[in-house]
């Protein structure tokens, strides 16, 4: 198993990896972390090739789990094996986790002012825009076929309108959809 | 309290396994569990947390860390965080091995393509649920629409965008609009 960086590049220490992931975790707002990771590890440091990175990215998106956390484990593992995976995971999660609790406490204190509620309502409204753009981007990448579009619509209705439990919807729709794609690929 | 910690783990650990296509996809189910099923937070509290999570740096799924903190303090935050990130961390770790060994296999491509449509439906469902919960009527929805367009046609920083949303809403309300 080749886990060291290629091309005679210096091998980062686990602490170094942790600090890089912590910095990215703490300076990225409103998503888009994958773009930062690409810039850091492929473009700036050349610790992995773009191909290796993109393999990890598609995997991180297709598999369950928060994308950027999956990506941090993938990159950490590729660069440094198990210690790298741990460094990536803890670096991308722990520092921002502390920040969000601090923010929650701060806003709970600010909650005595009516203005805080208005501001948070406005911020939440804009934040939904972030989600919507992500939804539109994802929908654009769905194959234009009867089955994928029906699966997408059925998932939307059962989860969003009918409020069915997500776990069962994903298991049912996911296995059906993956099965159909597998059969398509097999015919090709 | 241990019962609450157990409930937090029971709610968030299964959700971690269906987080496909990004943390946004499970927001509607988090809301259902936290507000409707367990009554840990009110709808308004949940929306505040959602806004804070989107404003804060890092993965937006840290929303559950904040909820855990509010429901059961320090250990609530720890349990919620471990539950949402833990199970799939082992999964991706194992798959990182398999991926290298069976590079380009048909099942990999089928998984990736098949899950795409499900993920898109889930994310859009989350948006639909959030829009229904949003306070502030048509004006707030207008801000959502403007934010969406701004994100699609410009490279505006998300933090700046949320700040403008907050300021815009306060100013419009101050002017007595809506």
Same-domain pairing of B175 and B151: yes
- Inform me whether the pLDDT recorded for A95 exceeds 80: yes
| Band of pLDDT at residue B22, cut at 50, 70 and 90 | low
Helix then strand count (H, E) for chain B reads 7, 0
Inspect the interface and report whether the beta carbons of B123 and A142 lie closer than 8 Å.
Answer: no
pLDDT digits (tens, 9 = 90+) for A17-60: 999 999 888 876 655 577 778 878 888 888 988 877 877 777 77
Among the partner residues A115, A122, A130, nearest to B158 by beta-carbon distance: A130
Q: Per the structure, how many domains does chain B have?
A: 2
pLDDT at position A4, please?
Answer: 44
- Percent of chain B surpassing pLDDT 90: 39
Q: Provide mean pLDDT across the span A155-167.
A: 88
Inspect the interface and report whether the beta carbons of A132 and B127 lie closer than 8 Å.
Answer: yes
pLDDT at position B21, please?
Answer: 57
pLDDT at position A54, please?
Answer: 75
pLDDT at position B82, please?
Answer: 94
Q: Which residues in chain B are contacts of A185 at CB distance < 8 A?
A: 106, 109-110, 113
Among the partner residues A28, A156, A180, nearest to B57 by beta-carbon distance: A28
| Band of pLDDT at residue A3, cut at 50, 70 and 90 | very low
The alpha carbon of residue A19 is apart from the nearest alpha carbon of chain B, in Å, by 14
Same-domain pairing of B145 and B124: no
pLDDT digits (tens, 9 = 90+) for B62-74: 999 999 999 999 9
Q: B61-85 burial, b if ≥16 CB within 10 A, otherwise e?
A: bbbbbbbbbbbbeeebbbbbbbbbb
Task: Specify the 3-state DSSP secondary structure of B57.
Answer: strand
Q: Which residues in chain B are contacts of A120 at CB distance < 8 A?
A: 47-48, 51-52, 166
pLDDT digits (tens, 9 = 90+) for B85-129: 998 888 888 887 777 677 778 887 888 788 888 888 888 888 898
Same-domain pairing of B156 and B127: no
Same-domain pairing of B107 and B158: no
Same-domain pairing of B171 and B158: yes
Show the DSSP H helices in chain A as ranges: 14-27, 33-38, 50-62, 67-110, 114-140, 146-156, 166-187
Domain that holds residue B141: 137-178
- Inform me whether the pLDDT recorded for A69 exceeds 50: yes
- Inform me whether the pLDDT recorded for A124 exceeds 50: yes
What are the angstrom distances between the C-alpha of A120 and each of A150, B132, B134? 36, 16, 11
Inspect the interface and report whether the beta carbons of A125 and B141 lie closer than 8 Å.
Answer: yes
Same-domain pairing of B75 and B158: no
Q: What is the mean pLDDT of chain B?
A: 86
Same-domain pairing of B91 and B169: no
Q: Provide mean pLDDT across the span B136-161.
A: 86
| Band of pLDDT at residue B162, cut at 50, 70 and 90 | confident
The alpha carbon of residue A57 is apart from the nearest alpha carbon of chain B, in Å, by 11
Among the partner residues B103, B120, B144, nearest to A152 by beta-carbon distance: B120
Q: DSSP secondary-structure letter at B174? A: H
Among the partner residues B57, B61, B112, nearest to A29 by beta-carbon distance: B57
What are the angstrom distances between the C-alpha of B12 and each of A8, A147, B78, B120? 42, 30, 12, 21
pLDDT at position B34, please?
Answer: 94
Domain layout of chain A by residue ranges? 1-110
Inspect the interface and report whether the beta carbons of A138 and B123 lie closer than 8 Å.
Answer: yes
**Mutation choice for B interface testing from A99, A100, A150, A162 by most B CBs within 10 A:** A100
Same-domain pairing of B47 and B129: yes
Higher pLDDT, A62 or B149: B149
Cα–Cα distance between B128 and B137 in angstroms, integer? Answer: 14
Same-domain pairing of B103 and B81: yes
- Percent of chain A surpassing pLDDT 90: 37
């Amino acid at each position: 198993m080749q886990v060291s960086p290629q091309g005679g590049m210096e091998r980062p220490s686990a602490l170094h990896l942790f600090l890089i992931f912590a910095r990215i975790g703490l300076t990225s707002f409103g998503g888009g972390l994958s773009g930062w990771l690409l810039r850091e590890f492929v473009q700036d440091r050349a610790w992995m090739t773009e191909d290796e990175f993109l393999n990890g990215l598609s995997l991180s998106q297709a598999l369950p789990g928060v994308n950027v956390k999956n990506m941090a484990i993938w990159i950490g593992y590729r660069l440094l094996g198990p210690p790298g995976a741990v460094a990536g995971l803890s670096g991308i999660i722990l520092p921002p986790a502390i920040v969000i609790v601090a923010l929650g406490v701060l806003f709970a204190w600010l909650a005595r002012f009516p203005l805080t509620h208005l501001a948070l309502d406005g911020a939440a409204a804009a934040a939904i825009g972030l989600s919507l753009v992500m939804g539109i981007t994802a929908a654009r990448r769905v194959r234009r076929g009867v089955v994928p579009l029906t699966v997408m619509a059925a998932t939307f209705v059962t989860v969003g309108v009918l409020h069915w439990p997500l776990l069962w919807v994903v298991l049912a729709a996911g296995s059906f959809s993956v099965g159909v794609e597998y059969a398509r690929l097999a015919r090709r | 309290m241990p019962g609450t910690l157990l409930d937090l783990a029971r709610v968030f650990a299964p959700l971690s396994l269906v987080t496909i296509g990004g943390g946004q996809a499970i927001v509607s189910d988090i809301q259902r569990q936290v507000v409707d099923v367990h009554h840990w937070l009110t709808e308004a509290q949940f929306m505040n947390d959602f806004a804070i999570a989107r404003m804060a740096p890092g993965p937006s799924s840290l929303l559950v860390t904040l909820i855990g903190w509010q429901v059961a303090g320090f250990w609530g935050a720890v349990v919620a965080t471990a539950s949402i990130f833990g199970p799939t961390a082992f999964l991706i770790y194992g798959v990182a091995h398999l991926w290298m060994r069976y590079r380009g296999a048909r099942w990999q491509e089928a998984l990736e393509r098949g899950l795409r449509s499900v993920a898109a439906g889930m994310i859009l469902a989350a948006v639909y649920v959030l829009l229904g919960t949003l306070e502030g009527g048509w004006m707030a929805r207008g801000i959502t629409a403007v934010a969406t367009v701004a994100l699609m046609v410009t490279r505006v920083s998300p933090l700046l965008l949320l700040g403008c949303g907050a300021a815009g809403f306060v100013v419009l309300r101050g002017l007595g609009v809506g």
